[in-house]
Amino acid sequence: MPGPLLHLGATIACSHAGQASPTSPDPRVLVGGQPVVPLASMYSIVGCTFPPPNAANGPCVTAQYVSSATRVAASGVPLLLMDSQAVCAPTGTPLVPTVVQTRVLGT
């Protein structure tokens, strides 16, 4: 199913409202003036509200996407789509993209 490509300016949060941002977007390919994000890029998370280890196993600190586009790549690495799946560490919860560019779609 086609979906919008994720880019550096996309608004992405962990399940506990922490803001996630990619650590290594691809600077060679731009979408709407922002670098696209390849599958290999880790995400850092700040502001996660999940309780610390005494009460739970949180808060979310990093995330890694585990699925991506199958037909669109940059620098030989598949790109992330709005419906790509990610896993946060240490909680195991997903990332939730809320605002992305809508002009460029990938499959």
62: which strand partners? 44, 89
Cβ pair 25, 59 in contact under 8 A: no
Quote the domain boundaries for residue 40. Answer: 3-106
- Mean pLDDT, to the nearest integer, of 84-100? 96
The Cα 3–Cα 23 span in angstroms is 22
- The total domain count for the chain is 1
pLDDT of 55 over the 80 cut: no
Rg (CA), the chain: 14
pLDDT the model gives residue 67? 97
Q: In angstroms, rounded to a whole number, what is the distance separating the alpha carbons of residues 76 and 91? A: 30
Phi, psi values for residue 26, rounded to 5°:
-85, 110
Q: What DSSP string runs through 40-98?
A: T-EEEEE---SPPTTTSS----EEEE----SS-EETTEEBPBTT--EEEETT-PPEEEE
CATH of the domain at 93: 2.60.200.60
Which token pair is 5? Answer: 């490509």
User: Tens digits of per-residue pLDDT, 27-46?
Assistant: 999 999 999 999 999 999 99
